[in-house]
Amino acid sequence: MLFFSYFKDLVGQEVTVELKNDLAIRGTLHSVDQYLNIKLENTRVVDQDKFPHMLSVRNCFIRGSVVRYVQLPPDGVDVDLLHDAARREARGA
Amino acid sequence: MATTTGLESLVDQIISVITNDGRNIVGVLKGFDQATNIILDESHERVFSTKEGVQQLVLGLYIIRGDNIGVIGELDEELDASLDFSKLRAHPLKPVVH
């Protein structure tokens, strides 16, 4: 649940999602659900010459199970807050 | 949450699906469920290769199991019409490796 809430706070920010097939998609985070499925708006594929497969796609839904990394904006992470939340969850509170 | 995470907003729209085995299937979304199983109508596959332009294979009505779905993109018809697929060359997408 922690990362679900965390990603919900990131809605509206620009992120890059790297998939498990090496495709990297950049876009504005529109929404996240409990499976960490991600919806992006104004998407563009990072290496369009190599991957022209999504040239006519501007909004997309990425299944949580194929996400390898989510690259976040540097100011999008409050490390202390996340730290505390992670500790609290580990304690089971 | 006010914003919908599901695929409701894409129903009856043309979508482009990238499957875990690297295929690209385009069709009209007719239905879906929580597991991201989807029903695609009037679908076709777009086969990318480095030797020739994009080939389009007619598939018709398809159900794709959610497990096998990577990305579902909303196809912008105007953008799509402006692309010259006979000139597009690319390696096929790699399969998803978990």
CB-based contact A60 B71, cutoff 8 Å: yes
- For residue B18, the cross-strand partners are B24, B71
Q: Which residue from A91, A68, A65 is spatially nearest to B68, judged by alpha carbons?
A: A65
Helices (H) and strands (E) in chain A, counts: 2, 5
- For residue A70, the cross-strand partners are A17
Which pLDDT score, from 0 to 100, does residue B1 have? 47
Which CATH fold topology does A2-91 show? SH3 type barrels. (2.30.30)
Query: Residue B19 — very low, low, confident or very high, per pLDDT cuts 50/70/90?
Result: very high
Which pLDDT score, from 0 to 100, does residue A92 have? 86
* Closest CB from A32, A57, A66 relative to B70: A66
User: Residue holding tokens 């919806």?
Assistant: A39
Quick check: B36 pLDDT over 80? Answer: yes
CB-based contact A30 B90, cutoff 8 Å: no
- For residue A27, the cross-strand partners are A15
Which pLDDT score, from 0 to 100, does residue B43 have? 98
- pTM, rounded to two decimals: 0.94
Query: How close does chain B come to A43, measured CA to CA in Å?
Result: 9
Taking only the tens place, the pLDDT of each residue in A62-92 is: 999 999 999 998 888 888 988 998 999 999 8
Quick check: B5 pLDDT over 90? Answer: no
Quick check: B54 pLDDT over 60? Answer: yes
Class of the domain covering B9-81: mainly beta
Quick check: A7 pLDDT over 60? Answer: yes
Domain locations in chain A as residue ranges: 2-91
**Cα torsion A28, B80, A21, B4: sign:** positive
Taking only the tens place, the pLDDT of each residue in A15-67 is: 999 999 999 999 999 999 999 999 999 999 999 999 999 999 999 999 999 99
Cα–Cα distance, A54 to B25 (Å, whole number):
11
Cα–Cα distance, B97 to A68 (Å, whole number):
10
Q: Tell whether A25 lies on the interface with B, counting CB pairs under 8 A.
A: yes
Q: Tell whether A21 lies on the interface with B, counting CB pairs under 8 A.
A: yes
* Closest CB from A23, A57, A63 relative to B93: A23
Which pLDDT score, from 0 to 100, does residue A81 have? 87
CB-based contact B4 A23, cutoff 8 Å: no
